[in-house]
Amino acid sequence: GIITTICGNGTTSSSGDGGLAINALTTQPTSMIFSSSLNSLFFVDGSFSVRMINLTSGIISRILDTSSSISGLSFQENSKFL
């Protein structure tokens, strides 16, 4: 199989929103889920936010941000698509 990096450059932080996801910094991304049209990927970032990658343009956006822990926020394991 082929593994392709679509987000992050290997540095742990949280920045780069509005730019290319491949250049963005992320912190321990978890709970990933695709949109039903398969053109977006959503994930919970360890910096207490939910981020979205437009898989067509490669642009990353922060769609939920909080200054405190959002522990327990995750996508259900059996929910494959939004």
In the chain (82 residues long), the average pLDDT of successive 10-residue segments reads: 86 85 86 84 81 92 71 49 44
Q: Cα torsion for 57, 63, 24, 67, to the nearest 10°?
A: 180
Q: What is the pLDDT of residue 37?
A: 83
pLDDT at position 69:
53
Quote the pLDDT of residue 12. Answer: 78
Q: 62: which strand partners? A: 51
pLDDT of residue 56: 92
